[in-house]
């Protein structure tokens, strides 16, 4: 038994997402092995997860972590970055938090109009203006691979490090090559909304043995085994219980990504007939995991704003999100010190953030749920005037 039931009663909310958990029997049999040995952390299941992922991504070293955020914090620390780091603002705020926890300055660059990933030209502009940048931190947003070749060329040209927050992108491909093999290091998340689920977890992936070693010690307080650390590490270990779930989930990864891409095709074939809905561009040779399906709702053409539509969908028992709105530089934690002064440089980020709406998607989603969401959005468009008036009335004066 796994959780692949799609049954949703008509009065139930259609959730924004659902984790696809591995079959319970399989999970239990892995746990039984743990109970026999008593080794619930630092054990063989973590090693197996690391070996499988390293092989899957292609000749990289993987280091399992307690979560992606802490993996990023450690990777940045292990790379010895100084000064400032360029990153997108159109991301989940954990990307930027990982810099702040290392005492680094986040410098937000703009995104590409179509892919919604870091725009190399905007990164270059920052690099031309500032001499204190030690790295570029790209994000494969929603699983869509960054323009890795261009970012790698910039990192080489300016002799700085390149790393990726690959939280969404385990199984994504850039020109046929698996994400996880780019830059100095990439870090994945294994939390419940991600392509591989460990309940909580993360994985750092790198081609550099020295860096992998530092990460292995780093997740273990910096202890190399002699209790005389030379590196200020953390406790960032993935437990064996989490690894047991990750291993079962990993077996379903290819099937899940294939199904998510089919779900997106079905969404696209209906929604692209409605004026004012735009999609994220995935480059032809690339593959996205579609961790999220985010669309743009263009107010004029669609007939109402993104906010009005999400309000209406909630009333129609369809749960949505606004990823990423506000963008990180406009959040309270970042605005005064790191956001305000960059705001004028972030035109595309600001515009896209106003229109984004992330629709329900999960790895075992049935076609009739997709059809129901599309029909509801179509009806909203056709009766936009009425809904917009109701929405405005619902707003506080």
Ligand X SMILES: Cc1ncc(COP(=O)(O)O)c(C=O)c1O
Torsion angle (degrees, nearest 10) of CA 44, 46, 52, 56? -170
Q: Tell the smallest beta-carbon distance from residue 205 to ligand X (Å).
A: 14
Per CB under 6 A, 104 contacts ligand X: no
| Sole window of 89-97, 125-133, 297-305, 348-356 interacting with ligand X (rule: CB under 6 A) | 89-97
> Between 2 and 21, how does the x/- string for binding to ligand X read (CB under 6 A)?
--------------------
Closest CA to 188 of 213, 163, 209, 210: 163
Q: Does 256 contact ligand X by CB under 6 A?
A: no
Q: What is the side-by-side strand order in the sheet with 277-279?
A: 277-279, 293-297, 356-359
- For position 276 contacting ligand X by CB under 6 A, the verdict is no
Q: Sheet containing 202-206: give its strands across.
A: 61-65, 202-206, 185-189, 161-165, 133-139, 84-88, 105-109
CB of 168 to ligand X, least distance (A): 6
Return d(Cα 242, Cα 203) in angstroms, integer.
Answer: 12
| Residues 199-238, mask of contacts with ligand X (x by CB under 6 A) | ---x------------------------------------
- The least distance separating ligand X from the CB of residue 380, rounded to whole angstroms, comes to 27
Q: Which stretch binds ligand X (CB under 6 A): 45-53, 92-100, 169-177, 239-247?
A: 92-100
* Phi, psi for 240 (deg, rounded to 5): -65, -30
Choice from 75, 96, 109, 167 touching ligand X (CB under 6 A): 167
List all residues 6 or more positions away from 358 whose beta carbon is below 8 Å from its beta carbon: 16, 292, 293, 294, 295, 320, 321, 322, 323
User: Could you tell me which residues come within 8 angstroms of residue 105 by beta carbon, excluding any fewer than 6 positions away?
Assistant: 83, 84, 85, 99, 132, 338
CB atoms closer than 10 angstroms to residue 89 = 32
Q: Judged by CB under 6 A, does residue 95 bind ligand X?
A: yes
Please tell me whether residue 108 binds ligand X under the rule CB under 6 A.
Answer: no
CB atoms inside a 10 Å sphere around CB 374: 19
Q: Which is nearer to ligand X, 144 or 350 (CB)?
A: 144
Q: Is residue 350 involved in binding ligand X (CB under 6 A)?
A: no
Length of the chain: 397
Number of residues that bind ligand X (CB under 6 A): 14
Give dist(CA 170, CA 256) in Å, integer: 11
Tell me how far CA of residue 24 lies from CA of 4, 30, 151, 245, 259, in angstroms: 11, 10, 42, 9, 21
Q: Which is nearer to ligand X, 97 or 114 (CB)?
A: 97
Nearer to ligand X, 291 or 381 (CB): 291
Q: What residues have CB less than 8 Å from 234, skipping those under 6 apart?
A: 70, 73, 74, 218, 219, 221
By the rule CB under 6 A, 73 interacts with ligand X: no
> Bridge partners of 258?
none
C-beta of 119 vs 246, nearer to ligand X: 246
**Gap between the Cα atoms of 257 and 362, Å rounded:** 10
Q: Which of residues 27, 56, 90, 92 is near ligand X by CB under 6 A?
A: 92
Which range, of 1-9, 162-170, 274-282, 387-395, touches ligand X by CB under 6 A? 162-170
**Residue 356 makes contact with ligand X by CB under 6 A:** no
Q: State the nearest-atom distance from the C-beta of 308 to ligand X, in Å.
A: 26
Q: Which of 115, 122, 191, 325 binds ligand X (CB under 6 A)?
A: 191
Give the range of 12-20, 86-94, 331-339, 380-388 binding ligand X by CB under 6 A. 86-94
Summarize as ranges the residues that interact with ligand X (CB under 6 A): 67-69, 91-92, 94-95, 139, 165, 167-168, 189, 191, 202
């Amino acid at each position: 038994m796994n959780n692949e039931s799609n049954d949703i009663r008509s009065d139930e909310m259609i959730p924004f997402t659902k984790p696809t958990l591995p079959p319970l029997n399989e999970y239990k049999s892995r746990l039984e092995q743990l109970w026999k040995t008593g080794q619930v952390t630092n054990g063989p299941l973590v090693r197996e997860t690391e070996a499988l992922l390293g092989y899957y991504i292609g000749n990289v070293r993987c280091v399992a972590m307690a979560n992606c955020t802490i993996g990023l914090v450690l990777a940045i620390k292990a790379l010895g970055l100084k000064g400032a780091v360029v990153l997108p603002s159109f991301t989940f705020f954990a990307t930027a938090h990982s810099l702040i926890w290392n005492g680094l300055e986040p410098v937000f660059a703009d995104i590409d109009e179509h892919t919604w990933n870091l725009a190399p030209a905007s990164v270059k502009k920052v690099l031309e203006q500032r001499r204190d940048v030690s790295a570029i931190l790209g994000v494969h947003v929603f699983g869509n691979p960054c323009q890795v070749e261009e970012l790698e060329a910039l990192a080489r040209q300016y002799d700085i490090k390149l790393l990726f927050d690959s939280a969404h992108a385990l199984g994504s491909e850039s020109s046929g090559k698996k994400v996880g093999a780019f830059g100095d290091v990439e870090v994945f998340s294994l939390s419940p909304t991600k392509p591989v689920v460990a309940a909580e977890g993360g994985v750092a992936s790198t081609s550099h043995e020295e860096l992998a070693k530092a990460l292995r010690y780093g997740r273990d307080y910096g202890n190399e085994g002699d209790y005389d650390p030379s590196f200020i590490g953390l406790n960032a270990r993935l437990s064996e219980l989490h690894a047991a779930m990750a291993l079962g989930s990993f077996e379903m990864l290819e099937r899940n990504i294939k199904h998510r891409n089919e779900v997106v095709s079905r969404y696209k074939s209906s929604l692209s007939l409605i004026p004012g809905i735009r999609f994220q561009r995935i480059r032809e040779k690339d593959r996205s995991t579609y961790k999220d399906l985010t669309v743009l709702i263009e107010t004029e053409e669609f007939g109402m704003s993104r906010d009005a539509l999400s309000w209406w969908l909630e009333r129609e028992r369809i749960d949505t999100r606004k990823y990423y709105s506000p963008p990180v530089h406009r959040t309270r934690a970042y605005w005064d010190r790191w956001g305000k002064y960059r705001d004028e440089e972030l035109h595309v980020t600001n515009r896209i953030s106003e229109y984004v709406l992330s629709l329900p998607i999960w790895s075992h989603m049935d076609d009739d749920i997709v059809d129901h969401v599309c029909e509801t959005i179509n009806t909203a468009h056709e009766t936009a005037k009425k809904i917009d008036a109701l929405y405005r009335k619902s707003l506080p004066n």
